[in-house]
Amino acid sequence: DIVMTQSPDSLTVSLGERATINCKSSHSISYRSSNRNFLAWYQQKPGQPPKLLIYWASTRESGVPDRFSGSGSGTDFTLTISSLQAEDVAVYYCQQYYNTPQTFGQGTKVEIK
């Protein structure tokens, strides 16, 4: 199975500041020929299921604010929240879908400073 490792485990950021979460896969999850990166990001708030934010590493799901952006390729990926809002407090997970079983990172908790 492909192992997904996120860093840091937790992050404290001031309102309006940038938050950056990293995700590293144990195997490349990109098809170079198609320029596709099989990486998704989810946001989970307490007591709620995960919510899809981004797929193909950088495509925002419908309705997701543009302060959320994703980047990366190969084995290294990043989720950036450009200007942290109070409602962004949550745990964020990356997930690869290059192979089955699709696997998730351990999560990064984002809090307000």
Partner 1 sequence: QVQLVQSGAEMKKPGASVKVSCKASGYTFTSYYLHWVRQTPGQGLEWMGIINSSGGSTSYAQTFQGRVTMTRDTSTSTVYMELSSLRSEDTAVYYCAREKGLDFAAAGTVFDFWGQGTLVTVSS
Residues in contact with partner 1 by the rule CB under 8 A: 34, 36, 38, 40, 48-52, 55-56, 61, 93, 95-107
Q: Which is nearer to partner 1, 48 or 113 (CB)?
A: 48
User: How does DSSP assign 87-104, residue by residue?
Assistant: GG-EEEEEEE-SSSSPEE
Q: Which is nearer to partner 1, 16 or 63 (CB)?
A: 63
Whose tokens are 């193909």? That residue is 56
For residue 85, which of 29, 37, 10, 19 has the smallest C-alpha distance? 19
Shortest approach of partner 1 to residue 37 CB, angstroms? 11
Q: Which is nearer to partner 1, 17 or 65 (CB)?
A: 65
Shortest approach of partner 1 to residue 86 CB, angstroms? 23
Shortest approach of partner 1 to residue 90 CB, angstroms? 14
Shortest approach of partner 1 to residue 46 CB, angstroms? 12
Q: Which is nearer to partner 1, 50 or 81 (CB)?
A: 50
For residue 70, which of 102, 96, 33, 100 has the smallest C-alpha distance? 96
Q: Which residues have a Cβ under 8 Å from the Cβ of 83 and sit 6 or more positions away?
A: 16, 17, 18, 67
